[in-house]
A = this chain, B = another copy of it.
């Protein structure tokens, strides 16, 4: 997929997802209005929509249906959004702003923000099940998606990575621990997205294994690239001040390896990701490889 085709695809996916919320959120059910507002506020805050994009792209690259992938794409964005809401809480990172908007607890209060996060996490599993109920994806495949999501977003996955990040300290965090944090805090949900898209498309074990390796390498490269942009990025494009990691004395790849070595590592991982897909028979102009290139060359 060429860069311009890809830009169109990314925009199209973001719009499709935004239109899908109203169908996928429990808006018309008997739910306290404030709860729906708090959940919706953060879901609609925008952002890259990278994870849902990966679900749909993996599914479509393997010949699966976009419609069937959408409930799963929405689910992974709900899980990602809940994790941001809880991360921003005063007891955690205590952030007042995210992407230029007030954080959930600054608008709805701490108690509601905790519950909005809990609601999004729980409803994500409901959304996943709708792939079977509304689009006929086999129960066995959807159950594997549920299993992956609970493992990769749970204690062994994202939550575990978050705890390790919270407990990490300068001088104590070495490269192995930093890798653990990145692999789980960020990487697992990226791997999940790819596997889930593959499962919706009915991918075989070989394709799923390739998607897993691709996602692991891509997720790590993505995180290293984030750390690099925090140092050399353009504030106006990033939408946040650069240098915050250094100010907070955060342990990052550039902190441990230096900028040049970090760039080489990100490039090496991206090449590894690329080769993995090509070896597994994905076409050179498939959506996923376009996205990998896009992520490596992004400036925000």
- Spell out A's residues near B (CB within 8 Å): 26, 29-32, 34-36, 39, 82, 86, 89, 91-92, 109-112, 114-115, 117-119, 121-126, 128-129, 132-133, 138-140, 142-143, 146-147, 149-151, 153-156, 159-160, 162-164, 166-167, 180
Contact = CB atoms under 8 A, between A and B. Distances in A.
A91 B110 contact: yes
A166 B114 CA distance: 12
5 contacts: A34-B163, A126-B147, A132-B143, A133-B147, A143-B146
Contacts of A91: 109-111, 114
Contacts of A140: 139
Nearest to A30: B156
B139 A125 contact: no
Contact of A122 (B119, B128, B153, B166): B153
Given A118-B121, A167-B34, A129 B112 contact: no
Contact of A35 (B26, B124, B128, B159): B159
B121 A122 contact: yes
A154 B119 contact: yes
Contacts of A35: 155, 159-160, 163
A26 B109 CA distance: 33
Contacts of A162: 115
Contacts of A114: 86, 89, 91-92, 114
B166 A150 contact: no
B125 A146 contact: yes
